[in-house]
Chains A and B, each alone.
Chain A
């Protein structure tokens, strides 16, 4: 176990925060450093972008299926159905992406208000 008694108790939360920050910053430094070696129009850059697309979508869909915090207090179907409705509306009206967002969020809000007050 590491002895951290040299850090005053008031500063301990901030020290822990900096340690957590280091855990993220390592990846960012690595990203900046390696980005200078990449041909932005090359196949590797396309692959990196495709990976980022896939990861970001995976992360967002995961929030719907396995949420934390306030969203976790709602039922799976209460989240999933409005989400799918929003995506379907977007796919039907791809030139008006705002419609998918508005319809999806409205469907979710309606469900929440209905459960809350009726």
Chain B
């Protein structure tokens, strides 16, 4: 029998379930990476909480440890994280955040905690709860994700010189497969087209334009999805 959990509790359970395991596996890998790079534990956990974005965290550790000038660090992180804009815009719209009477600073906090995992779970759950309940779900999810990810980052940091790298790669593999499967569960045709084209275009362009490939792949894939949907609908109405 299916239990009816409150949105907050459902968020907590989701965060400690597969989504949390997948994301925290990647954070475990980050803990290993930061330990190898020579960061101290506080700065490692600090970068998790302050940045809450894997590309941003990896760039920070990579550039900080080689003594990159501050402006170059800022610019690289800025350019590599434009995708956050689209995720936040989409996530905030899904939760209809402006319908909630909360201060702007709270909205920023929830925006800060939107990651590909958090956003993908919002997409997955949006039809199970009413729109006004999605923020409550996201609060629970974020709380669980912060807890589990902090924990596994610390574990990864502590174990970096003990575990063979190959074994560490196993939990890290979970997140890309899990989120790709979540994306493929999209029902609407335009999302499916966007998923397939984004998954092809982004990696193909990556060797040539680096992190911009994800933005370009996203813009082209998303536009292509809506365009194909429009053309198919037009074809049907003409038939």
Contact surface of A with B, Cβ cutoff 8 Å? 1-2, 4, 13-14, 16-32, 34-36, 38, 40, 43, 45-71, 73-74, 79, 82-83, 86-87, 90-91, 94, 97-98, 100-101, 104-105, 108-109, 112, 115-116
A-contact 0/1 string along B62-104, CB 8 Å cutoff: 0010000111011111100111111111111110111000001
State the B residues within 8 Å of A (CB). 18, 29-30, 32-33, 39, 43, 46-47, 50-53, 55-56, 58-60, 64, 69-71, 73-78, 81-94, 96-98, 104, 107-108, 111-112, 114, 116, 119-120, 123, 164-170, 172-186, 190-191, 194-203, 206-207, 213-215, 217-223, 225-226
**Distance in Å: Cβ of A98 to nearest Cβ of chain B:** 7
Q: Which residue of B lies closest to A30 (CB)?
A: B85
Q: Tell me, rounded to whole Å, the shortest Cβ–Cβ distance linking B83 to chain A.
A: 5
A70 vs B33: C-alpha distance when bound (angstroms) = 8
Say yes or no: A71 contacts B47, CB within 8 Å.
Answer: no
B222 near A16 (CB under 8 angstroms)? no
Measured between beta carbons, the chain B residues less than 8 angstroms from A63 are: 175-176
Task: Sample 30 A-B pairs with CB under 8 A, ordered by A number.
Answer: A2-B70, A16-B70, A17-B60, A20-B64, A23-B75, A31-B91, A31-B92, A32-B97, A32-B107, A32-B108, A43-B226, A48-B93, A49-B93, A50-B222, A53-B222, A54-B194, A55-B222, A56-B183, A57-B221, A58-B202, A65-B206, A66-B207, A68-B58, A69-B58, A97-B181, A97-B182, A101-B18, A101-B174, A104-B173, A112-B167
CB-based nearest B residue for A68: B58
**Are A71's CB and B172's CB within 8 A?**
yes
Q: Is the CB of A54 within 8 A of B58?
A: no
Residues A35 and B89 in contact, CB atoms below 8 Å apart: yes
Given A19-B74, A70-B165: A57 and B69 interface contact (C-beta under 8 Å): no
The CA-CA distance from A36 to B215 in the complex, in Å, is: 22
> A90 to B178, alpha carbons, bound, how many Å?
10
